[in-house]
Amino acid sequence: MRGMPEWIKQALAWIVVVGAIVATWIILDLTGAVSSDRLPPLTDVISAAGREAEDLPIAVLATAGRVAAGFVIGAVVGVFIALLSHLSTVASELLAPPIHLLRSFPPFVVAPFIILWFGLSVQAPIVFAATVTAFVVVIDSGEALRVVRREYPQAAQALGAGHVSRAMLIDTPAIIPAIAGGLRVALVGAVNAVLLYEMLTGTEGVGDLLIRGYQLFRIDTLFFAVIVAILLSLLLDRILVLLLNRATHWSRG
Amino acid sequence: MSSNAFNALRRTPRWSRATAATVLWLLLWWLLAATAAVPYLPSPLAQAENLIGNSPAYLLAAGATLVRAVIGFAIGAALGILLPIVLGYWSATRYVLDALADLTRTIPGIALLPIFLLWFGTGDGTAVALVAAATSFIVIVVSASSIRNVDPIYLRAASALGGAGLQGYLLVVTPAMLPGVLGGLRVALAAALPWAIAGEYLGAQNGLGYILWNSLQSVNLRQMISVAIVASLIVALLDLAMRAGGARVTAWAQTAEGR
């Protein structure tokens, strides 16, 4: 292993992890340790993939679109609320009680409220994902803003920057490296929110594929849908990491 | 607002500003309810009546959810700590640990709900398994990062003092990763209750999630808000307990840092 480039070691580690999962699956199946109505043979899952291939792109795109829209809206709203609370004394005092409440508010509890108020509308899962994202981003951004170096905003204000330009040009870029981890957590939260909404309401998407597999006792479809959900979440995370790396390259200088 | 008004605001005690802000939010709530701007929203007073009047039922449901959350958390925490300790021992498997942490960080735990429903049915098992899986994902990520951050100088010192091999590794790494892991356990414990509630939406016959889902079917927003308040209070109490317990266990680390 010594002398091997870091990226090869990481790629090998990924192969080992995925290989271990697949090997365990095959062993459990072949030895009959777990019955096939609880753990389908891998070949059945591959057949399910072929069966669902026609509808899958639409389901994946629907879920990914909802997650992306909800995440972007939630992140922007979250940063905006944190900035407002940071820059204005009155807003800070006014927003303190709901922000304090958010720290212990369980995000999944929001689901029934969204279904009650937004029903099966297009915006319902997006609002849910945005709410879950904003919960995380408001708290993380608030904490990041507290440790932004004071010289930057002071220098900007000395050069004539107003509140809006300071927020847009100094505070927001300054907190992105600090909230990058929180944004990744929020993205998985948004995926969970959209999947839960689709499962509870039967709205077309990966969540619906999951719950259909359960309701129709199609365990092969169910396991295939779980793999799709994990791959979708991984893909969205990689895209976010790529974008964050671009946005924060200056901070690693 | 003039600067005089700002200064006057700053001079008022913090508790009175917080009270005034809370009263303003309650007034806004009352206004939204009175004008029916938000469908089905009860007034704050009607809400308080529902919460207090039905508190025995809510507490009973909270107890059922809490038991599921705590059992699931215990399983998830044990798995989330032990697996990284084992994988962190060899330098080659440390890369596997990092890959595993990267994978678990991105797994949407809710996707596992239908599998657990199929395996465990609509009893306690589904919610417990969902909490165990989701909390183990959180703890694995934090434990992996805590092991990575242990200064190798401690391991070298232990080796020089005769504590080489597995014994030295366990004696050094386990306490050194504790402050980081406790932070992760706090996050995982706070997440345990919401995950238990999510598991109860489709997979339970009682509990806060079950009440919440049934309240939605009967359009009972008062009951939904009461459940949300009870759930938030429990999460806040669990966090307080974890902070207090964590501070005691890691007092040595703070003392060492202060030196």
Measuring CA to CA, how many Å separate A127 from each of A89, A234, B231? 28, 22, 21
The nearest CA of chain B is from the CA of A22 a distance in Å of 14
Please give the span between the terminal C-alpha atoms of chain A, in angstroms, as a whole number: 29
| Residues A115 and A159 placed together within one structural domain of the fold | yes
Structure tokens, A15 = 């192969």
Structure tokens, B243 = 């902070």
Question: What CATH number is attached to the domain comprising A123?
Answer: 1.10.3720.10
| Residues A100 and A12 placed together within one structural domain of the fold | no
| Residues A27 and A145 placed together within one structural domain of the fold | no
Specify the DSSP class assigned to residue A167.
Answer: I
Q: Does any CB of chain B come closer than 8 Å to the CB of residue A139?
A: no
In angstroms, the CA B64 to CA B60 distance is: 7
| Residues A68 and A5 placed together within one structural domain of the fold | no
Res. A253 pLDDT band, cuts 50 70 90: low
| Residues A123 and A8 placed together within one structural domain of the fold | no
Counting residues of chain A whose pLDDT is more than 90, the rounded percentage is 58
3 state SS of A36: coil
Q: What is the pLDDT of residue B70?
A: 95
Q: What is the pLDDT of residue B39?
A: 87
Measuring CA to CA, how many Å separate B107 from each of A231, B80, B134, B150? 8, 14, 9, 26
Q: Residue A106: which of B42, B79, B200 has the closest Cα?
A: B200
Q: What is the pLDDT of residue B46?
A: 95
For A191, the closest of B108, B114, B232 (CB atoms) is B108
Res. A232 pLDDT band, cuts 50 70 90: very high
Taking 70 as the pLDDT cut, the residues of chain B under it are: 1-10, 163, 249-259
| Residues A147 and A53 placed together within one structural domain of the fold | yes
| Residues A65 and A13 placed together within one structural domain of the fold | no
3 state SS of A160: coil
With 0-12 CB in 10 A as exposed, 13-18 as middle and 19+ as buried, what is A33? exposed
Q: Does any CB of chain B come closer than 8 Å to the CB of residue A195?
A: yes
Are the beta carbons of B215 and A213 separated by less than 8 Å?
Answer: no
| Residues A166 and A223 placed together within one structural domain of the fold | yes
For A1, the domain range is 1-39
Tens digit of each residue's pLDDT (9 = 90 or more) over A184-230: 999 999 999 999 999 999 889 999 999 999 999 899 999 999 999 99
> What string of DSSP letters covers B115-174?
HHHHHHTTSHHHHHHHHHHHHHHHHHHHHHHHHHTS-HHHHHHHHHTT--HHHHHHHHHH
In angstroms, the CA A107 to CA A73 distance is: 16
ipTM of the complex model: 0.90
| Residues A94 and A59 placed together within one structural domain of the fold | yes
For B114, the closest of A17, A96, A214 (CB atoms) is A214
How many domains would you assign to chain A? 2
Note the pTM of the prediction, 2 decimals.
Answer: 0.89
| Residues A11 and A118 placed together within one structural domain of the fold | no
Please, what is the Cα angle at A185 between B134 and A129, to 5 degrees?
95
Q: Residue B181: which of B134, B133, B148, B132 has the closest Cα?
A: B148
In angstroms, the CA B250 to CA B256 distance is: 10
Is the Cβ–Cβ distance between B216 and A197 less than 8 Å?
Answer: no
Structure tokens, B230 = 């009870």
Q: What is the pLDDT of residue B10?
A: 66
- Listed as own residue / partner, the contacts of A31-36 with beta carbons closer than 8 Å and 24 or more positions apart are A36/A219
Res. A168 pLDDT band, cuts 50 70 90: confident
Q: Does any CB of chain B come closer than 8 Å to the CB of residue A174?
A: no
| Residues A28 and A52 placed together within one structural domain of the fold | no
Mean pLDDT of A81-94: 87
* Contact pairs from chain A to chain B, CB under 8 Å: 148
| Residues A14 and A101 placed together within one structural domain of the fold | no
Res. A99 pLDDT band, cuts 50 70 90: confident
Q: What is the mean pLDDT of chain A?
A: 90
Q: Which of residues 203-222 of A touch B (CB under 8 A)?
A: 206, 210-211, 213-214, 217, 219, 222
Q: Is pLDDT above 80 for A103?
A: no
